[in-house]
Structure 1
Amino acid sequence: MDLNEPYSPTTPRPPGTTVTMKTVLYLFTTFVIAQLVGAVLYGLYLHRKMDKVEGEMNLREDLLFLRRLQKCLKPQEADTTLLDCSAILNMFQDLQNRTSKVPQENYIGRLAGKEEKPTASIHLAGFKDSSQPVSVLQWTEALYAPSDDTISHQGGKLKVTRGGRYYVYAQVTFCEKPRSHAPFNVYIYLHLPSERDQLLLKGMRTSGHSDVIGSLQSVHLGRVVELQEGHTIFINVTDSSKVNYDHGNTYFGMFELSKKSL
């Protein structure tokens, strides 16, 4: 090799070859990405299709079982069919036994405290026990009114055996006396053992100046209270001789508030 020979660099690639390779690489990458996306979409389609087919197969099996059961239940067809009617009837009996256990399981769940207890309620009507004024208004069970063992009443007092939040309400209707200016007050008290009675609600109605004997007015009270087991509630008024006990005029009640309604 002649050292005096001038150095010639490598001949560069034609510009067209580089552009062609980039184009081929771009098309190949696009093709691969399109194949992946298509595979994913096709897989989702197959998954939904299989779920639909499985649901239709289950439905067909149920319908087939019902048809077999119908044939076995008909005496004229049970003798001519090749079905194992004893096995089919045993399966049907097993299904009946399973469904009959559902109420029992719900009852066990209620005993375990898994289900919410039913709300308690009571509604009482005013009851005139004596012609003499009384310190506590008396009550009796109203017609078609709810009542249960959770709330009891005795001596004009309501007593709860289960603590919770209750809505207490009452309406007292009274007769106005002619030319009487004394207000008529209604009080709802909470009786606590070994403690002083607590005033929960107070309502007042000032008598008018009507000269008509027997004119009626009403006082309505209501609120939510937090009660504990053994708490009792009662009502008294300023003058019990004015109270009107006609049907629907004077009443007293309470109901327990469920957690959903709070």
Structure 2
Amino acid sequence: MINTYHTSMPLPPLPPPPPVPPRMAGHSSRPEARKSHHHHHSTLLWLVSVVLVLHVLLSCVGFIYLFDRGHQASLQQGEFHEKYFDDFLILKRLKKCDDNTLDDQSLLDCKQLLDTFRNVMAKVSQFHASQTEGRVAMLTADQFHGALAHMEVSNTHGKTCKGGPNKNTCALEWNDDHSIRAHVETGGDSRLTIQHPGFYYIYSQVTFSSGNNKEVLRNTIRRIQKKESTSKYTPPEEKDEILVSSYCLLKTMPGMPGMCTASTGGVFKLEKDEELYVSVNNLTWVNYDSKATFFGLYKL
């Protein structure tokens, strides 16, 4: 057996290693290209981050601004509704009270509303009369921009009926020195003359304290419309019509005088120069207490 592991023969020389292939020119610039590409991505990422941050900030500022404006608008709207909502409801209820199809309960509610309004107007009239000390209570345009009147009755006990074109009516007269008027003129002692056309709420209350207890007592608000005359030598024609009426019946008790109150009111469209007055059955039956008998209106 031949020993192949131990021999004294010299080994042949090893072949030389293969030459190293030459490095290409592009390989020598690859690290620099990678570095430039990385720098470009960093700049783009920084710009995108700045844009996103600015967008978030502007969105927050815009949201805060819109929220604040909306909050202020809601507060103003809430204050407006809180201030005028009750007035709107009262005006709507007054207009509904002029409906001829109201039932008994609705009419009772209207009467309670009118009674409350009369009490307030009576307090206003009393306060204003004490402030003016008997002078004419005439509101200026700076104090009130609408049109109103609250007239206190003048004692015409014992006088004959003046009335208007309708001779069957007895027109009540009013004490202008102790009444309130604004942008409403008086035609004589009994009439109110409209200066500004529009819708008006008109009211009247008459208290009767004597008279025939078998006869119905009447409180009527009447309107006089003037038509132009066809000739300059004749005065203008007047049309007298009833706007609204109320009635009451005296109930007498032994040893006590009878007394009843007739109240009425409604919303009507009035034109310039139209006149209004209040008529009753008989002037001698009227209670001439200014807090019990009065007449007024105000423009809506």
TM interval, short-chain normalised:
0.5 to 0.7
- Which position in structure 2 is the counterpart of 1:168? 202
Q: Which amino acid aligns with 2:186?
A: S
- Which position in structure 1 is the counterpart of 2:215? 182
- Which position in structure 1 is the counterpart of 2:153? 126
Higher-Rg structure is 2
Whether the aligned pair in 2 keeps the contact of 1:174 and 1:218 (CA below 8 Å) is: yes
**Residues 150/247 of structure 1: CA separation in 2 closer, same or farther (3 Å cut):** closer
- Which position in structure 2 is the counterpart of 1:150? 184
Q: Does 1:207 align with 2:250?
A: yes
CA–CA separation in structure 2 for the residues paired with 1:163 and 1:228: 4
Q: Does 1:141 align with 2:156?
A: no
Query: SS at 2:53's partner residue?
Result: helix
Whether the aligned pair in 1 keeps the contact of 2:153 and 2:172 (CA below 8 Å) is: yes
- Which position in structure 2 is the counterpart of 1:3? none
Q: Give the drift of 1:36.
A: 4.7
Query: SS at 1:147's partner residue?
Result: strand
**Residues 206/40 of structure 1: CA separation in 2 closer, same or farther (3 Å cut):** same
CA–CA separation in structure 2 for the residues paired with 1:35 and 1:215: 93
- Which position in structure 2 is the counterpart of 1:61? none
Q: Which amino acid aligns with 2:194?
A: V
Question: TM-score by structure 1 length?
Answer: 0.53
Instruction: Note the alpha carbon deviations across 1:1-59, whole angstroms, 9 max, x for none.
Output: xxxxxxxxxxxxxxxxxxxxxxxxxxxxx99987654331134567899xxxxxxxxxx
Query: SS at 2:159's partner residue?
Result: coil
- Which position in structure 2 is the counterpart of 1:68? none
CA–CA separation in structure 2 for the residues paired with 1:157 and 1:252: 10
Q: Which moved more, 1:237-246 or 1:128-137?
A: 128-137
Structure 1 unpaired stretches of 5+? 1-29, 50-116, 258-262
Structure 2 unpaired stretches of 5+? 1-44, 65-143, 162-169, 227-236
Query: SS at 2:222's partner residue?
Result: strand
Instruction: Note the alpha carbon deviations across 1:92-114, whole angstroms, 9 max, x for none.
Output: xxxxxxxxxxxxxxxxxxxxxxx
Whether the aligned pair in 2 keeps the contact of 1:175 and 1:216 (CA below 8 Å) is: yes
Query: SS at 1:196's partner residue?
Result: strand
Whether the aligned pair in 2 keeps the contact of 1:123 and 1:141 (CA below 8 Å) is: no
Whether the aligned pair in 2 keeps the contact of 1:121 and 1:148 (CA below 8 Å) is: yes
CA–CA separation in structure 2 for the residues paired with 1:147 and 1:155: 14
Q: Percent identity?
A: 18
- Which position in structure 2 is the counterpart of 1:230? 273
- Which position in structure 2 is the counterpart of 1:252? 295
CA–CA separation in structure 1 for the residues paired with 2:53 and 2:155: 85
- Which position in structure 1 is the counterpart of 2:57? 42
Whether the aligned pair in 2 keeps the contact of 1:171 and 1:250 (CA below 8 Å) is: yes
Whether the aligned pair in 1 keeps the contact of 2:250 and 2:259 (CA below 8 Å) is: no
CA–CA separation in structure 2 for the residues paired with 1:240 and 1:212: 23
Q: Which amino acid aligns with 1:218?
A: T
**Residues 208/47 of structure 1: CA separation in 2 closer, same or farther (3 Å cut):** closer
Q: Give the drift of 1:142.
A: 6.0
Whether the aligned pair in 2 keeps the contact of 1:151 and 1:160 (CA below 8 Å) is: yes
Count of aligned pairs: 160
CA–CA separation in structure 1 for the residues paired with 2:214 and 2:244: 22
Whether the aligned pair in 1 keeps the contact of 2:149 and 2:182 (CA below 8 Å) is: yes
- Which position in structure 1 is the counterpart of 2:229? none
Query: SS at 2:242's partner residue?
Result: strand
